[in-house]
């Protein structure tokens, strides 16, 4: 069997981002943590941690971290039947998950609260565009992801969650100033829009859905979901906002749709490593929360 | 004089994140953009763009991008006096700024709206912990930053904005379950907290302010300001939340302070490149908005 004290040290260094923080979390000295990781690296015959700030795992290090989590989850399950076997130091297991910012801002916190209710899990959430969360799953950085990718990543299971509905929204003052004749391609080529990140294609997708020759609007870059809504209200630009966050403002007229009733639906999937212990419970909690914020999945379960 | 068509192509590739997107923004073909950047690189005698997804500038490329912005800003100022000189293609200038997520979630959108009122500016906001935004200024990635660093970065001016006040908050249900005897160090060593990122030291700072030997709580990692507040409400953990976002919930009892009346104030500064044209107008708009969300600066202007 592996020496799990060494694996525990490796996982803490990768999770906490530094040897000092890992030492504090494990109640060890930094040099003891460093020694354990070095010993594991000697045995593995390769580097497992990139010594930068923050520290991160090499591909080999990642696969050992994921193994350490799986074993810890299996131990937790065993301890329910054999509480007398529980080591005194057994703490919660930290699960790394990749999620898109708009899911985190709308329906996912309810899922997180349900998952962690028992006190045995902690979540390490990584934000990424929904078109790219699956890459983190593929590389082994996370054990599960909310993703726009329907096809299962190798070794993973994919469950449809439903679609997050977006509305192209702006303030009435913005409309009066920049789009007085409505959302014409000519006006949209001049009116500033908001873009979340270099990976955010939602504005471009909506434009392509409306116009055969979509305009290229100038853009602000604004990488925060709530600030995106706030910036629309403040008249900084127009942008694709999750319907749950703007439904009230649309109803009251504080925000308006650029073109009435032109939603954009983004189907989302929950993908998790098949080997993840307790995946059924996780999946159940995530699907349950998704039902409150997403539109029901269209097709049969893939 | 430089060939500004080439600089414009470089700046677009760096801003948009790919040659294809830059081409669309400039209404050119990707090969024309690529040719211009290559020509500029030949003249500069070095690589200016790292060809990865997304593309990013080398240090030399960054300094040329910053120069291109300065010239564009100077042209804008000139055109107010000489409108007949305005080239037909002159569009808004995109300013890269670094900002902490909590400022963006509380007071900065009002500043952004004021800055962009005239239609000549677009903002490219990069999120970073307030302890590290200054690094982006130092590297030349941004022209201004909201930062916790008071001392001016070389070539920059630093203006105190006031302090963002934080409260250590949790839901009453969380308190009853995890801290039934109140926030004792023993209980806090077991009760889950929330941490924004590996760079977020706010929870540790607050603990060190309260306890001579601060406990090391287990933590969730949750990199979004509004989700941080939502997760506190949902009982996932306790965390340091900006007072403007939780004042109402604290007043209604939906959230409570872990230890009554123990705020943590984080002084913030606006730092901008001294050579930035129009910096006075920018600074004025930022300071004005800061007054609505931050506590007034304590000391004299440094």
Which has more confidence, A211 or A275? A211
pLDDT band at A37 (very low <50, low <70, confident <90, very high): very high
Q: B222 to chain A: nearest residue by CA?
A: A125
CA count, 13 A, side-chain hemisphere, B56 = 10
Average pLDDT score over residue span B40-46 = 93
pLDDT at A249 over 70: yes
Distance (Å) from the alpha carbon of B234 to chain A's nearest alpha carbon? 6
Taking the C-alpha atoms of residue A174 and residue A238, their distance in angstroms, rounded to an integer, is: 8
Instruction: Say if residues B286 and B161 touch (Cβ distance below 8 Å).
Output: yes
Binary contact (A105, B227; C-beta < 8 A):
yes
Instruction: Say if residues B264 and B164 touch (Cβ distance below 8 Å).
Output: no
Binary contact (A222, B101; C-beta < 8 A):
no
Number of H helices, E strands in chain B: 13, 11
**Element holding B98 (H helix, E strand):** strand B93-99
pLDDT of residue A85: 66
Question: Which tokens is A7 given?
Answer: 């694996």
pLDDT of residue B70: 87
Taking the C-alpha atoms of residue A147 and residue A266, their distance in angstroms, rounded to an integer, is: 10
pLDDT at B78 over 90: no
pLDDT band at B221 (very low <50, low <70, confident <90, very high): very high
pLDDT band at A302 (very low <50, low <70, confident <90, very high): very low
Distance (Å) from the alpha carbon of B113 to chain A's nearest alpha carbon? 5
pLDDT of residue B171: 98
Taking the C-alpha atoms of residue A290 and residue B111, their distance in angstroms, rounded to an integer, is: 35
Distance (Å) from the alpha carbon of A119 to chain B's nearest alpha carbon? 9
Distance (Å) from the alpha carbon of A128 to chain B's nearest alpha carbon? 11
Distance (Å) from the alpha carbon of A112 to chain B's nearest alpha carbon? 7
Question: Which tokens is A181 given?
Answer: 């004749």
Taking the C-alpha atoms of residue B186 and residue B179, their distance in angstroms, rounded to an integer, is: 9
pLDDT at B191 over 80: yes
Candidates A101, A112, A236; nearest CB to B231: A112
Q: Which of B221, B223, B288 to mutate to test the interface with A (most CBs of A within 10 A)?
A: B221
Average pLDDT score over residue span A253-264 = 97
Question: Which tokens is B173 given?
Answer: 């249900």
Domains and CATH numbers, chain A: 164-264 (3.40.190.10)
Question: Which tokens is B98 given?
Answer: 């670094």
pLDDT band at A300 (very low <50, low <70, confident <90, very high): low
On the question of a cis peptide bond just before residue B102, with omega within 30 degrees of 0, the verdict is no
Binary contact (A54, B16; C-beta < 8 A):
no
Q: Which of A113, A132, A293 to mutate to test the interface with B (most CBs of B within 10 A)?
A: A113
Q: Quick: pLDDT tens for B148-171.
A: 999 999 999 999 999 999 999 999
Using alpha carbons, select from B261, B263, B267, B260 the residue that is nearest to residue B295. B267
pLDDT at A87 over 70: no
pLDDT of residue A81: 73
pLDDT of residue B86: 63
Binary contact (A198, B16; C-beta < 8 A):
yes
Q: What percent of chain A has pLDDT over 70?
A: 96
Instruction: Say if residues A253 and A237 touch (Cβ distance below 8 Å).
Output: no
Q: Which of A120, A226, A232, A285 to mutate to test the interface with B (most CBs of B within 10 A)?
A: A226
Average pLDDT score over residue span B168-177 = 98
ipTM of the complex, rounded to two decimals? 0.90
Using alpha carbons, select from B240, B14, B229, B221 the residue that is nearest to residue B126. B14
Cα dihedral angle (A82, B179, B207, B291), rounded to 10 degrees?
Answer: 130
Binary contact (B231, A109; C-beta < 8 A):
yes
Q: B23 to chain A: nearest residue by CA?
A: A216
Taking the C-alpha atoms of residue B240 and residue B206, their distance in angstroms, rounded to an integer, is: 8
Q: Quick: pLDDT tens for B13-26.
A: 999 999 999 999 89
Mean pLDDT estimate for chain B: 93
Output the DSSP codes for B10-33.
HHHHHHHSSHHHHHHHHTS-HHHH
pLDDT band at A74 (very low <50, low <70, confident <90, very high): confident
Q: A195 to chain B: nearest residue by CA?
A: B124
Q: A120 to chain B: nearest residue by CA?
A: B192
pLDDT of residue A88: 57
Q: Which residues in chain B have their CB less than 8 angstroms from residue A220's CB?
A: 112, 116, 122-125
Angle at Cα A298 formed by Cα A277 and Cα A140, nearest 5°?
30
Taking the C-alpha atoms of residue A156 and residue A180, their distance in angstroms, rounded to an integer, is: 49
Binary contact (B227, A116; C-beta < 8 A):
no
Average pLDDT score over residue span B187-212 = 96
Q: A24 to chain B: nearest residue by CA?
A: B216
pLDDT of residue B300: 54
Q: Which residues in chain A have their CB less than 8 angstroms from residue B245's CB?
A: none
Binary contact (A25, B234; C-beta < 8 A):
no
Distance (Å) from the alpha carbon of A192 to chain B's nearest alpha carbon? 8
- B82 exposed, middle or buried (CB, 10 Å; 0-12, 13-18, 19+)? exposed
Binary contact (B123, A223; C-beta < 8 A):
no
Candidates A105, A199, A219; nearest CB to B122: A219
Name the phi and psi angles at B218, rounded to 5. -65, 150
Taking the C-alpha atoms of residue B85 and residue A152, their distance in angstroms, rounded to an integer, is: 57
Question: Which tokens is B226 given?
Answer: 């509004």
Instruction: Say if residues A293 and A107 touch (Cβ distance below 8 Å).
Output: yes
Q: Which of B30, B122, B179 to mutate to test the interface with A (most CBs of A within 10 A)?
A: B122
Average pLDDT score over residue span B213-233 = 96
How many contacts does A have with B, using Cβ atoms within 8 A?
Answer: 122
Binary contact (B220, A112; C-beta < 8 A):
yes
Average pLDDT score over residue span A106-123 = 94
Instruction: Say if residues A146 and A107 touch (Cβ distance below 8 Å).
Output: no
Average pLDDT score over residue span A117-137 = 94
Q: What is the DSSP letter of A267?
A: E
The residues with which B122 forms a beta bridge, in sequence order, are B94
Instruction: Say if residues B61 and B10 touch (Cβ distance below 8 Å).
Output: yes
pLDDT at B302 over 60: no
pLDDT at B299 over 80: no
Taking the C-alpha atoms of residue B95 and residue B72, their distance in angstroms, rounded to an integer, is: 11
CA Rg, chain A, in Å?
23
Helices A59-81 and A30-44 pack at an angle, to 10 degrees, of 110
Q: What percent of chain B has pLDDT over 70?
A: 96
Q: Quick: pLDDT tens for B272-288.
A: 999 898 899 999 999 99
pLDDT band at A90 (very low <50, low <70, confident <90, very high): low
Q: Quick: pLDDT tens for B85-144.
A: 666 556 789 999 999 999 999 999 999 999 999 888 999 999 999 999 999 999 999 999
Candidates B116, B127, B235; nearest CB to A113: B235
pLDDT band at A46 (very low <50, low <70, confident <90, very high): very high
Cα dihedral angle (A177, A179, A185, A191), rounded to 10 degrees?
Answer: 30
- For residue A272, is it left (φ>0), alpha (ψ between -120 and 50) or beta? beta
Taking the C-alpha atoms of residue A121 and residue A194, their distance in angstroms, rounded to an integer, is: 36
């Amino acid at each position: 069997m592996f020496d799990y004290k060494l694996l525990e040290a490796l996982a803490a260094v990768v999770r906490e981002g530094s040897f000092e923080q890992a030492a504090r979390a494990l109640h060890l000295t930094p040099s003891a943590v460093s020694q354990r990781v070095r010993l594991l690296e000697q045995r593995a015959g390769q580097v497992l941690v990139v010594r930068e700030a923050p520290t991160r795992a090499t591909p080999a290090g990642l696969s050992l971290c994921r193994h350490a989590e799986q074993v810890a989850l299996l131990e937790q399950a065993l301890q329910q039947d054999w509480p007398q076997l529980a080591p005194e130091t057994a703490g919660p297991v930290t699960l790394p998950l990749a999620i898109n910012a708009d899911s985190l801002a709308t329906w996912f916190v309810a899922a997180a609260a349900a998952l962690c209710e028992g006190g045995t899990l902690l979540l390490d959430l990584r934000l990424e565009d929904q078109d790219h969360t699956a890459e983190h799953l593929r590389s082994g950085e996370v054990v599960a992801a909310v993703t726009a990718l329907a096809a299962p990543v190798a070794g993973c299971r994919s469950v449809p969650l439903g679609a997050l509905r977006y509305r192209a929204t702006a303030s009435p003052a913005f409309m009066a100033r920049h789009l007085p004749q409505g959302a014409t391609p000519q006006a949209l080529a001049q009116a500033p829009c908001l873009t979340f990140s270099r990976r955010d294609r939602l504005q471009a997708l909506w434009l392509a859905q409306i116009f055969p020759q979509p305009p290229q609007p100038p853009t602000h870059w604004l990488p925060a979901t709530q600030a995106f809504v706030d910036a629309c209200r403040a008249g900084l630009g127009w942008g694709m906002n999750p319907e749950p966050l703007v439904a009230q403002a649309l109803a009251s007229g504080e925000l308006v749709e650029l073109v009435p009733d032109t939603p954009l639906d983004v189907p989302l999937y929950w993908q998790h490593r098949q080997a993840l212990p307790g995946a059924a419970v996780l999946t159940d909690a995530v699907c349950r929360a998704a039902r409150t914020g997403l539109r029901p999945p269209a097709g049969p379960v893939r």
